[in-house]
Amino acid sequence: MKQSYNVAVVGATGAVGNEMITVLEGRNFPVKELRLLASANSAGKKLEYQRKDIVVQELTEKSFEGIEIALFSAGGDRSKQFAPAAVKAGAVVIDNSSAFRMDKDVPLVVPEVNAHAIARHKGIIANPNCSTIQMVVALDPLHRKAKIKRIVVSTYQSVAGAGQKGIDELANQIKALFSFQTAEKKMFPHQIAFNCIPQIDVFEPDGYTKEELKMVNETRKIMEDQSILVSPTAVRVPIFMSHSESVNVEFENDLSPEDAREILRNSPGVIVQDDPGKSVYPLAMNAAGEDAVFVGRIRRDNSVKHGLNLWIVSDNIRKGAALNAVQIAERLIGHS
């Protein structure tokens, strides 16, 4: 293992890009040079890393000379345009967009689940959708024990999933409504303040949204089991940070709630919070800023032979994006 690496963060001024910088510093990733890249509009801004200001540079196809690891968080179109240039320059790209996730030649990785897939990369490694990440971290250990047949999941996704503009829209709408003004909407199809919107991304002809289909296809790819059935409903809710999921799982073999709790307590990246008599269960506000995936409300589904219900919560910007990408980079260089 080398002592240090030249690292680029693409989309450095966005919510996820900023969190990537924080995670790199917080986990003492062996950075030799940190190059911060963004659009021309953001070029010239300064961001802090290890108590020093780094000037953001404009992202171009020539931005990656000497870079060894490139963390991308700038959207699918940008990834498709610039990731090949980064690979050509010699970097390994860890991409947070959906651009390459279902490419058969690109590993889709959650380190707690399928870190072995990293070795198959050909220059690009994909970071999964935030909702998929937290679900598979919790479900994969149970799948190994009892084999999952079917998952029915309803998500309660924060506005941070739409980036800084989503956060700003909720904040501005709340301020406007409390000032008896009109709540303007730009990011979401309806007012998000004091509302729930059962649509994330656009609808496909079958009535599912692209966000929902990501959970179907990505879960199967990461867990390496195309037989798993997944039925998702993705909902945007008026909270700033962290995604919550109500997950119903049907297994091929019996798995008691007690055994599930014990398995999860010993699973990497998972914290069990499950004492309903004392109102102890995962909360979105408590998960914000934390690395773990939190699991609670573990109970039998009495409507099927081998079923469990779980409540899964995680910070979608951190574990759902930035942290997972840095964890991939750590595994890539053998640093974890």
The helix (run of H) or strand (run of E) holding residue 265 is helix 257-265
> Which DSSP letter does residue 198 get?
S
Look up 196 and say whether it is catalytic.
Answer: no
Query: How crowded is residue 298: how many other Cβ atoms within 10 Å of its Cβ?
Result: 22
pLDDT tens per residue, range 154-166: 999 999 999 999 9
Domain 132-316: give its CATH superfamily: Dihydrodipicolinate Reductase; domain 2 (3.30.360.10)
336: pLDDT strictly greater than 60: no
121, 143, 243, 306: which is the annotated catalytic residue? 243
Instruction: Say whether 130 is catalytic.
Output: yes
Residue 268: burial class (beta carbons within 10 Å; 0-12, 13-18, 19+):
exposed
Please list, in sequence order, all residues whose beta carbon lies within 8 angstroms of the beta carbon of residue 246, skipping any fewer than 6 positions away.
153, 154, 156, 309, 310, 311
pLDDT digits (tens, 9 = 90+) for 72-113: 998 899 999 999 999 999 999 999 999 999 999 999 999 999
CATH number of 5-128+321-333: 3.40.50.720
Rounded-to-integer distance, Cα 142 and Cα 308, Å: 10
In this chain, the answer to whether the domains covering 5-128+321-333 and 132-316 adopt an identical fold is: no
CA–CA separation, 333 and 301 (whole Å): 42
Kindly report the three-state secondary structure assignment for every residue of 220-234.
Answer: HHHHCCCCCEEEEEE
Residue 1 has pLDDT above 70, yes or no: no
List pLDDT tens digits, range 18-60.
999 999 999 999 999 999 999 999 999 999 999 999 999 999 9
Q: Where are the domains of the chain?
A: 5-128+321-333, 132-316
> In this structure, what are the phi and psi dihedrals at residue 55, rounded to the nearest 5 degrees?
-80, 130
Residue 117's pLDDT band, with cuts at 50, 70 and 90, is very high
130, 190, 306, 335: the active-site residue: 130
CB 239 within 8 A of CB 171: no
